[in-house]
A and B are shown apart, each in its own frame.
Chain A
Amino acid sequence: MILGLAGNQNCGKTTLFNQLTGSNQHVGNFPGVTVARKDGQIRGHKDVTVVDLPGIYSLSPYSNEEIVTRDFLLNNNPDAIINIVDATNIERNLYLSMQLIELDIPMVIALNMMDEVRANGGTIKIKEFQKQLGVPVIPISASKNEGVEELIDTVLEVAEAKRAPRRQDFCSGAVHRTIHSIAHMVEDHAQRIKVPPRFAATKLVEGDEPMRKALRLSENEIDMVMHDVTEMERELGTDREAALADMRYSFIESLCASTVVKMGESREHRRSVAIDRVLTGKYLAIPIFLLIMMLIFWLTFGVIGTALSDLLSLGITAVTDAADAGLTAYGINPIVKSLVIDGVFAGVGSVLQFLPIIVVLFFFLSILEDSGYMARVAFVMDKLLRRIGLSGRSFVPMLIGFGCSVPAIMSTRTLSSERDRKMTILLTPFMSCSAKLPIYAVFTAAFFPKHAALVMILLYVMGILMGVGSGLLMRGTVFHGNPVPFVMELPNYRMPSAKSVLLLIWDKARDFLVRAFTVIFVATIIIWFLQTFDTRFNPVSSGSDSMLAMIGRWIAPIFAPLGFGDWMSSTALITGFTAKEAVISTLAVLTGTDVSNLPQALSTLFTPLTAFTFLTFTLLYTPCIAAVNAVRQEMGSVRSAVGVVFYQCGVAWIAAFLVYQAGRLVAG
């Protein structure tokens, strides 16, 4: 049995999903789009799957989230819908319910946050309320796990009895007549494509293009529909879309007037308004936001991240040393030992080193999201990102990019529009990640000891500018057309639930390990192989004889116009693909020195100008394999991931070329 869980954003849908399923969840995508789909088995009912549908406000055909929900409900034949409704915000939440009811699928309304309504002196006459709506209504509190058992029982009962909503007619007058006449007219077409005629008719009256196409109406029928609609518009003195929205809200208003004893302004709402006086206030909003982000960065990449990373590498080193000693004592072939130690252990280590960052960062991000603060950030920062065709929602993921692209790309999942999500994923790698800092540090120490800070700032700014430029370019090409409207709810602040936070962390960590492990591991092994052997598969004694060095020599001419056409720097760039900090260790190995003496060694390879062009290229060229894999995972497409690699390498080459040539002109 399949159930669909539908509801608005911020109505407690995820909390309810977690209560229904526990940790029996499976994350995937809806076919063809990057809209996330979560399935789970209902606790105690192994044969019942519930699908968490995207948080939407309407079944209009304008966003992929809405279309996906519609398609799922119409084509996957769910046995019932659980429609979760936030009782503290009942009018707007019921707007979606009215459209869901028209789908003629057995349905139950879960009236969430009833505890909050009651605590604030409100109440809902449930019996009368469900009588007027024609579907069972169960008051629940998802966060306190109240009423959930009753909800499950009711849904299963309704689904087994195939009890469709008892009422679909919520309209009167001209709208009523028009919908009915059109429903009759298109009945055959609708039944052919297995869509309830009533739903088809309503959508046609609204002017819904996908529905009109799907029904394949004849010219004559289209004319008749148009005739009815025009007649209705004339009679009501308004247009079709406004007429139907008004019809739904009018019914909801009269329903609420007769069954809902409104609560006074709730404590939660008053508290939210008070908090917002500070957090989105004119003077404090931006400083506080920056402070919060700095704190998160400091904790993630400094305090906790470093501590966990150190602990982890301590463990890895201990295991590696033990294995090393064991293998040596056993007298194993040095190549096999190198495979185990430098290949396998290094590979596992490079996957695991992301884990502390991901866990800690998503701990903070899920608190920001669940508390309602993320929506405020979008509100405060929207103006900055509007020019490149994005909204304030993309600000935090891009900011995380300065720490690490991998969690930054993973965090775009919370963006509610697919277009914004894709664009943010593509722009995030331009934010210079913290793994590039060691490279900047070594090069500035070697070439710009007096202007280290200036050079670094210059690099960061260049990355941001390239991101903005790419955004403008994409807005004009790949993502042309109108951006998704930025009309966003600012939900009341809420205490994040520990369960949701932990589940999200678990989700992200598992997601990363499962999907990134193979890719990163294989890449590390390949690099190890290329570094260890020459073309005749003999182990090399010096780094300059390896296959990797040979490939470095092949591609070195590509970098000649950028001023660093020697094989060592191109070889270092290749290893940088597995992890950016590898650029430095490779350069140290190839120049026959260690990292602390690398600045001196580099002065034979680079001039200050070519050093700066090299930094420019390193800043912009392909993200590391873990980030590329995150792009593939979140975009659901290998092509996009490969595209990112080539696009960024191209941008990097052009930028470095311009820097080098301009530098030569200036130097004369």
Chain B
Amino acid sequence: MTLDRLKIGKSSKIVEVRGEGALRRRLLDMGLTPNTEVMVRKMAPMGDPIEIHLRGYELTLRMDDAKKIVIEEA
């Protein structure tokens, strides 16, 4: 399953980051590497982007980009 489908308030572990180029590199640089625990904190009022919690800090990314992040099944 991918990060965009993780319910608000739930956590999971990253399996793989797909995509390419600047976006993928940025995600990796920000610490979204395999085995990292992520929690979805909330969704923006207009339904996109989402706010996630990882490595002790808050990060926001768009739904389309969250689709590229493969996580462990709940």
Chain A residues within 8 Å of B, Cβ to Cβ: 57-58, 60, 62-63, 88-92, 95, 238, 241-242, 245-246, 249, 269, 272-273, 276, 280-283, 285-286, 375, 378-380, 382-384, 386, 482, 484-491
Which B residues touch A238, using CB under 8 A?
Answer: 34
Q: Is the CB of A489 within 8 A of B59?
A: yes
Known contacts A58-B25, A91-B56, A482-B23; is-contact A245 B47 (Cβ 8 Å): no
Number of interface residues of B (CB under 8 A): 35
Known contacts A382-B44, A489-B58, A490-B59; is-contact A57 B25 (Cβ 8 Å): no
Q: Is the CB of A92 within 8 A of B57?
A: yes
Q: Is the CB of B33 within 8 A of A379?
A: no
Which A-chain residue is minimally distant from B46 (CB atoms)? A383
Most chain A Cβ neighbours within 10 Å, of B23, B27, B28, B47: B28
Known contacts A285-B45, A482-B22, A482-B23; is-contact A246 B51 (Cβ 8 Å): no
Complex Cα spacing A282 to B8, Å: 13
Complex Cα spacing A553 to B29, Å: 61
Which B residues touch A491, using CB under 8 A?
Answer: 57-58
Which A-chain residue is minimally distant from B29 (CB atoms)? A58
Q: Is the CB of A280 within 8 A of B42?
A: yes
Output the least CB separation between B50 and chain A (Å): 9
Choose among A58, A246, A269, A488 the residue that contacts B60 (Cβ–Cβ < 8 A): A488
Output the least CB separation between B17 and chain A (Å): 7
Q: Is the CB of A242 within 8 A of B34?
A: yes
10 contacts between A and B (CB under 8 A): A89-B56, A90-B56, A242-B34, A280-B51, A285-B44, A379-B51, A482-B21, A485-B27, A487-B60, A487-B65
Complex Cα spacing A111 to B29, Å: 20
Which B-chain residue is minimally distant from A208 (CB atoms)? B25
Complex Cα spacing A272 to B27, Å: 23
Q: Is the CB of B26 within 8 A of A62?
A: yes
B7 contacts A by Cβ under 8 Å? no
Chain B residues within 8 Å of A, Cβ to Cβ: 16-17, 21-31, 33-34, 36, 41-49, 51, 55-62, 65
Q: Is the CB of B33 within 8 A of A490?
A: no
Complex Cα spacing A378 to B48, Å: 11
Choose among A89, A249, A378, A485 the residue that contacts B57 (Cβ–Cβ < 8 A): A89
Most chain B Cβ neighbours within 10 Å, of A90, A379, A386, A482: A379
Q: Is the CB of A486 within 8 A of B57?
A: no
Complex Cα spacing A238 to B18, Å: 11
Q: Is the CB of A282 within 8 A of B30?
A: no
Q: Is the CB of A63 within 8 A of B22?
A: yes
Known contacts A280-B44, A282-B45, A383-B47; is-contact A242 B33 (Cβ 8 Å): yes
Which B residues touch A488, using CB under 8 A?
Answer: 59-61
Given contact pairs A249-B31, A382-B60, a sample of 20 additional A-B residue pairs in the complex whose CB atoms are under 8 Å apart = A57-B29, A62-B26, A63-B22, A92-B57, A241-B28, A242-B16, A242-B17, A242-B28, A246-B33, A246-B34, A276-B42, A280-B44, A379-B51, A482-B22, A485-B65, A486-B65, A488-B60, A488-B61, A490-B51, A491-B57
Choose among B29, B41, B48, B60 the residue that contacts A60 (Cβ–Cβ < 8 A): B29
Known contacts A91-B55, A95-B31; is-contact A485 B22 (Cβ 8 Å): yes
Q: Is the CB of B57 within 8 A of A245?
A: no
Which A residues touch B45, using CB under 8 A?
Answer: 280-283, 285-286, 380
Output the least CB separation between A474 and chain B (Å): 19
Which A-chain residue is minimally distant from B27 (CB atoms)? A487
List of 5 A-B pairs having minimum Cβ-Cβ separation, nearest first = A245-B28, A58-B29, A62-B22, A490-B58, A485-B23
Output the least CB separation between B45 and chain A (Å): 5
Which A-chain residue is minimally distant from B64 (CB atoms)? A386
Which B-chain residue is minimally distant from A287 (CB atoms)? B45
Which A residues touch B49, using CB under 8 A?
Answer: 379, 382-383, 486
Q: Is the CB of B33 within 8 A of A487?
A: no
Complex Cα spacing A7 to B23, Å: 20
Output the least CB separation between B35 and chain A (Å): 9
Choose among B24, B41, B47, B61 the residue that contacts A241 (Cβ–Cβ < 8 A): B24
Complex Cα spacing A272 to B51, Å: 13
Q: Is the CB of B61 within 8 A of A384?
A: no
Which B-chain residue is minimally distant from A62 (CB atoms)? B22
Which B residues touch A95, using CB under 8 A?
Answer: 29, 31
Most chain A Cβ neighbours within 10 Å, of B21, B23, B48: B23
Which B-chain residue is minimally distant from A263 (CB atoms)? B56
Which B residues touch A490, using CB under 8 A?
Answer: 51, 58-60
Which A-chain residue is minimally distant from B22 (CB atoms)? A62
Complex Cα spacing A625 to B40, Å: 47
Complex Cα spacing A375 to B59, Å: 10
Which B residues touch A379, using CB under 8 A?
Answer: 44, 49, 51, 60
